Amino acid sequence: MAAAKDFGIEPRQTRVIETPYRRIRTAIPHPDSLATLRTLRECESRSMRGQPPVVWGKTHGFQVEDAYGNMWVDWSSGVLVANAGHNHPRIVTALQDYIASGAPLMTYCFPSEARAKLVEKLIHITPKELDRVFLLTTGAESVEVAIKLARTHGARLNPKKRYVISYEGGFHGRTYGAQLAGAPMEWVDPNRYFVQMPFPGSIDTDDKRFDMFANRLKEMSIAPGDVAGVIAETFQGREAKLMPVEYAQALRAWCSEHKAALIFDEVQAGFGRTGRLFAFEHYGVVPDLVCCGKGITSSLPLSAVVGRAEYMDQFGPGEMTSTHTGSPLPAVAALASIEAILGDKLIENAAELGPYLKAKLVNIARPYHDQIEVGGVGLVMAMVFFNNREERKPDPDKAFQFCEESLLGGNLFFAPVGKGYGAIKFCPPLCITKPAIDDALYGPAGIKDTLTKVMS
Ligand SMILES: Cc1ncc(COP(=O)(O)O)c(C=O)c1O
């Protein structure tokens, strides 16, 4: 697949916007931020140019500011990280108190109170069948571990039980195993034990029946008993689509029947994003392994696999560790973030405002119904731009233009994602409010105006 586009860093003069939620007072990016932007361009890999050129100065709640008086409504959450809100006071205070106490900044795998409190909390908030936790640093690592656990479990049952089934168009991170399970990349050698299925009801297929899964295996001459695990994003990130409930339930039953691990990758979907603490709750099933990351801390890097002891306890002491396993500061942040999400009733807010936002976006996009599709659940929506909606051909140029223009209007999105980079994701911190949504959508230079401009 072609790479996404670079964002230009030439300052663009634009109109002044002053609302209670958005403030654009200068050219964007501000000329004084160019030195930083240029240093990054000169010193970093080109792969790091993928986001709009705003140097984040301060963040709070659902807003991002630069150092020059400009302020955006943040629809990115830093790619679905800041679920509790940016710089939630509970997280900031917990980190400050921890540092002030003189407690260690790292503990390797030596026991720590911060880690103990977090793993206990994770077990408490997940279904009772999931009774072990392993902490890591990135989402991709949690996927690597889940694959390792599923394949080890499979191979111990039956040496031929090595297949890992994942879904076309899925994304699980940028490490080797995660890329084997995700979209094909030229640097990853095909591996016959990693097999992909169409994601039911995705941009590529309207077929939502579970038969599709079993038939595909048959076509590929894979015996169900040779499948070690099935890994799926709980909603497919690129278009924010959940599986049909019946499909997920049939998949759970199939995995149980054939002793394959059901792995839900909740790195994007977890911690309230979809209006439930975990998105698999929409399906009424319990997976064997859950990958968590991003919104688990709303801030510092930490990820986790939560799962059944049968899988999680397969390795002996020292055989499944990582230097920064449950590093104390991220662990403190995670505990505070979970408490903030629950205490501030942010899951309820996502469940209430999600349908509100969706209805408004559908309405705004209605004049362009042959070119735009809106979908999603809770506070993760995708607006997918098509050249030709019937042929499902994405329009990356329109999506990119929308992202760039929105920046000048005080609405901050991450770069387009999904098939052909045609999807703009709307995933604000879960503390966003109705008046902020209304302002961002309908206020001056808001999303409605931006869409009109881009589509004209
Ligand atoms: C569903 C999913 N899984 C895994 C990952 C990888 O997480 P990380 O970037 O922390 O490695 C991502 C990141 O976007 C993701 O969206």
In terms of pLDDT, which residue wins out, 28 or 190?
28
280 within ligand 1 shell (Cβ under 6 A)? no
Distance of alpha carbon 83 from alpha carbon 62, whole angstroms: 9
Backbone phi and psi for residue 47, each to the nearest 5 degrees, phi listed first: -60, -20
Residue to probe by mutation, ligand 1, list 294, 324, 427, most atoms within 8 Å of CB: 294
Structure tokens at 64: 């991002």
Percentage of the chain exceeding pLDDT 70: 100
User: What atom in ligand 1 is closest to the CA of residue 173?
Assistant: 6
| Domain stop point among 343, 368, 400 | 343
Residue 11 lies in a domain: no
State how beta strands 23-24 and 17-18 pair.
Answer: antiparallel
CA–centroid distance, 79 to ligand 1, in Å, is: 9
pLDDT bucket at 391, cuts 50 / 70 / 90: confident
Q: What CATH number corresponds to the domain at position 219?
A: 3.40.640.10
CA–centroid distance, 80 to ligand 1, in Å, is: 10
Per DSSP, the chain holds a count of helices (H) and strands (E) of 14, 19
pLDDT bucket at 2, cuts 50 / 70 / 90: low
Mean predicted confidence (pLDDT) in 154-178: 96
**Residue 242 sits in the same domain as residue 364:** no
Residue 57 lies in a domain: yes
Number of domains observed in the structure of the chain: 2
Q: What's the pLDDT score for residue 29?
A: 97
For residue 3, pLDDT beyond 80: no
**Residue 380 sits in the same domain as residue 398:** yes
Q: What CATH number corresponds to the domain at position 408?
A: 3.90.1150.10
**Residue 142 sits in the same domain as residue 239:** yes
Angle at CA 252, nearest 5°, toward 217 and 198? 40
State how beta strands 261-265 and 423-426 pair.
Answer: unpaired
Q: What is the pTM of this model?
A: 0.97
Q: What's the pLDDT score for residue 201?
A: 82
CA–centroid distance, 25 to ligand 1, in Å, is: 34
Distance of alpha carbon 133 from alpha carbon 452, whole angstroms: 48
Mean predicted confidence (pLDDT) in 160-176: 96
pLDDT digits (tens, 9 = 90+) for 96-153: 999 999 999 999 999 999 999 999 999 999 999 999 999 999 999 999 999 999 999 9
CB 76 within 8 A of CB 412: yes
Q: What's the pLDDT score for residue 204?
A: 79
Min mean pLDDT across 52-61, 205-214, 271-280 is at 205-214
Q: What's the pLDDT score for residue 40?
A: 97
For residue 70, pLDDT beyond 90: yes
**Residue 180 sits in the same domain as residue 271:** yes
Alpha helices in 243-327 (DSSP H): 245-257, 309-312
In terms of pLDDT, which residue wins out, 204 or 91?
91
**Residue 98 sits in the same domain as residue 225:** yes
**Residue 176 sits in the same domain as residue 253:** yes
Distance of alpha carbon 191 from alpha carbon 450, whole angstroms: 44
Distance of alpha carbon 61 from alpha carbon 55, whole angstroms: 17
CA–centroid distance, 171 to ligand 1, in Å, is: 7
140 within ligand 1 shell (Cβ under 6 A)? yes
233 within ligand 1 shell (Cβ under 6 A)? yes
Residue nearest to atom 4 of ligand 1 (CA): 172
138 within ligand 1 shell (Cβ under 6 A)? yes
| Domain stop point among 325, 343, 361 | 343
Min mean pLDDT across 198-207, 219-228, 295-304, 417-426 is at 198-207
In terms of pLDDT, which residue wins out, 304 or 190?
304
**Residue 51 sits in the same domain as residue 185:** no
**Residue 63 sits in the same domain as residue 101:** no
**Residue 156 sits in the same domain as residue 292:** yes
Q: What's the pLDDT score for residue 186?
A: 85
| Domain stop point among 321, 343, 365 | 343
pLDDT digits (tens, 9 = 90+) for 330-381: 999 999 999 999 999 999 999 999 999 999 999 999 999 999 999 999 999 9
Residue 138 lies in a domain: yes
For residue 1, pLDDT beyond 60: no
Residue 282 lies in a domain: yes
Q: Where are the beta strands (DSSP E) in 358-427?
A: 372-377, 380-388, 393-394, 411-412, 423-426
Residue 41 lies in a domain: yes
**Residue 254 sits in the same domain as residue 359:** no
**Residue 76 sits in the same domain as residue 108:** no
- 282: Cβ contacts below 8 Å, ≥ 6 apart: 234, 242, 245, 274, 276, 377
Residue 353 lies in a domain: yes
The closest alpha carbon to 76, from 407, 304, 351, 452, belongs to: 407
Residue 8 lies in a domain: no
For residue 243, pLDDT beyond 70: yes
270 within ligand 1 shell (Cβ under 6 A)? no
The closest alpha carbon to 169, from 422, 439, 441, belongs to: 422
In three-state secondary structure terms, 130 is: coil
Mean predicted confidence (pLDDT) in 227-236: 97
Q: Tell me the residue range of the domain where 291 lies.
A: 90-343
**Residue 282 sits in the same domain as residue 142:** yes
Q: Give the chain's mean pLDDT.
A: 96
Residue 94 lies in a domain: yes
Per-residue CA distances from 240 to 35, 179, 236, 237, 332 (Å): 36, 19, 5, 5, 29
